[in-house]
Amino acid sequence: MLWLCIQFPRLPLEALTRAGRKDSESTPLAVTDGNLILEANATGHARNVASGLTIATACAYCPELELLERDLERETQLLQQLAQWGYSFTPVVSPRGSAHPGEKKGKKKDQGDDGPACLFLELSGSLKANGGLAPLLQQLRKELRKMRISHVMGLGHSPSAAHLLSQLPEHRLWLEETQSPPSPQQWRQWISFAPSKLLDCNNKAIAKLYACGIKRVSQLLAIPLSEVGNRFGRSFIDYLARLNGTRPDPVPSYEPPAEFHSELFFPSPLDNSEQLLFPAGRLVRELCRQLQRRQLYSQQLCWVLDYGSRGSQQVNVEISRPLFDPQRLIALTKLQLERVTLQEPVQALALKCQQLRPLESQTLREDFFDEGSKVHESYQLIDKLKARLGHQALSGVTLKESYLPEQAWQSADSLSLHSRPRGHNLHPVNAPRPSWLLPRPDRIQQRDHKLFYDGELQLLQGPERIDGYWWQHHRHARDYYIARSELGSLYWVFQDLTSEDWFLHGVYS
């Protein structure tokens, strides 16, 4: 087993500010928890605003400091998004949230409950697909930087070991340069070298360790387990065994939902739809990266414009075929947003894809190898028209099981025209048919055994007999012909075999 622990030390701040542009970081910002400063941005730190200061003291250091109240719900939501992102690299993922203020005052835990949120990824099954350990770690860091998420990493043979080593600067330095996983001996050396204050236990246990003069993990491991158990309890011995790898270290497994959801919060609400394009582009890129790795696609992007206490507005972008090009998706989103009038300044922008579908090999073959760019251009045109005119403005045509030409087709959703229905498939008739079929047959005049419709008609080809529904009261028996008018137009005409009247039914192009 090869566990990677990714800690997110600035998640409370980034859950509220990662949507902003880099030029907005010149404003000092801080997240508060109660009356204390929880985290400040780089500009705030430069103005002596640090974690643990009271709000009054921080404002005395920096009068222009902007304060944001901690939002635990958004932190949890962002951690779930990160877990979904991690699942695109490995199927074994386990997120662990940071401490809730109420939890600290409640039930005590043997393991630490005041650390930052983190994500555990089991990487041993993903190394080959990603080109090895170094390229995989490089890709993880690259995408976290794109998402503007601060992080530290640790690699271990168990989740507990990875969590401990992620706090060790020497290990993190090694991890940035290594090309292969360390040996078990190297892991044991790092764990022994680690300060005991980095152990994943509560502050009371740490204070007790220091009171006993145990400042390194190596000192703790040198004590007989029975004596450690008497002083710190059975659960602490279990933790040490999981840390050493002598006992299994299970963590809750994450099961991603069959949907994508990501959100960006704006500390300063946006009042122009054009301003939404920049954060929308970031969300679309996150979506494309995850869908490509998980071999999924979505036919609809659902944008939610959050107006805070004044409700929200939903904007849908429909896609005909699997599409992973962020630029095209952003272009379609731009067309939709141009039609939207913002009801209020937008406080948050969310992207949801509620129905993720697996990519089928047949779909890929049609997209990339059959008729090349013509197929793509057709679907791109459909997508643009839908984005510009709306879903209701476009529809398609599909076959319907019927003998009569006027009943052998029906209107259909253009997005589902190429879905392959299960069971019986309908095939078009292999006979010349007009491109324009009249909604109702038009009677043709007859005089002296001749047909007249804008002049005399000349029968060129036929008959093609269509005789259906003889088992019903209204039998339809027709002989169809292709006829030419005096002006050269080609018509599709038929004679009703019951009444012997003639009708015009279609016009050829």
Segment 423-463, tens digit of pLDDT: 566 777 777 888 888 888 899 998 888 899 888 899 998 88
pLDDT category at 78 given cuts 50, 70, 90 is: very high
CB neighbour list of residue 63: distance below 8 Å, 6 or more residues apart:
none
Q: Which residues pair with 412 in a beta bridge?
A: 396
Residue 168 has pLDDT above 70, yes or no: yes
Task: Dump pLDDT digits (tens) for 3-20.
Answer: 999 999 999 999 998 887
Give this prediction's pTM.
0.73
pLDDT band of 110, cuts 50, 70, 90:
very low
Mean pLDDT over 137-155 rounds to 92
Q: Letter for the amino acid at 469?
A: Y
Selected residue with higher pLDDT from 321 and 162: 162
Say whether pLDDT at 80 is over 60.
yes
Backbone torsions φ then ψ of 168, nearest 5 degrees: -95, 115
Which range among 176-185, 253-262, 494-503 shows the weakest confidence by mean pLDDT?
176-185
When pLDDT is averaged across residues 218-225 and rounded to a whole number, the result is: 84
User: Which amino acid would we find at residue 486?
Assistant: E
- pLDDT value of residue 224: 83
Q: How much is the pLDDT for 162?
A: 92
Over pLDDT 90: what percentage of the chain?
Answer: 30
Helices 373-389, 361-368: axis angle to 10 degrees equals 100
Q: Exposed, middle or buried by CB within 10 Å (0-12, 13-18, 19+), for 197?
A: middle
Question: For the chain, what percent of residues have pLDDT higher than 70?
Answer: 89
Mean predicted lDDT score pLDDT of the chain: 84
Average pLDDT on 453-480 reads: 83
Whether the pLDDT of residue 241 is over 90: the answer is no
Tokens of 482: 């292709």
- Confidence grade of residue 406 (pLDDT, cut at 50, 70, 90): confident
Binned at pLDDT 50, 70 and 90, residue 104 comes out as: very low
For 62-129, the DSSP string reads -TT-EEEE--HHHHHHHHHHHHHHHHTT-S-EEEE----HHHHHSS--SS--SSPEEEEEE-TTTTTT
Please give the torsion angle defined by the CA atoms of residues 235, 236, 242 and 247, in that order, rounded to the nearest 10 degrees: -50
DSSP three-state, residue 364: helix
Per-residue pLDDT tens digits for 361-390? 655 555 555 555 566 777 778 888 888 887
Residue 402, pLDDT > 70, answer yes
| Phi, psi of 46, deg, nearest 5 | -65, -20
Please give the residue that has the higher pLDDT: either 101 or 253: 253
Averaged pLDDT, 467-485:
82
- Per-residue pLDDT of 12-66, as tens digits, reads 999 998 887 666 678 889 999 989 999 998 898 999 999 889 999 999 999 999 9
Q: Can you give the pLDDT at residue 364? A: 58
pLDDT for residue 417 is more than 70? no
Interatomic CA distance for residues 225 and 232, integer angstroms:
10
pLDDT band per the 50, 70, 90 thresholds, residue 494: very high
d(CA 464, CA 70): 76
Please tell me the predicted confidence (pLDDT) of residue 483. 92
Q: Which residues contact 405 (CB under 8 A, 6 or more apart)?
A: 433, 437, 466, 505, 506
Positive/negative CA dihedral, 10, 12, 15, 17: negative
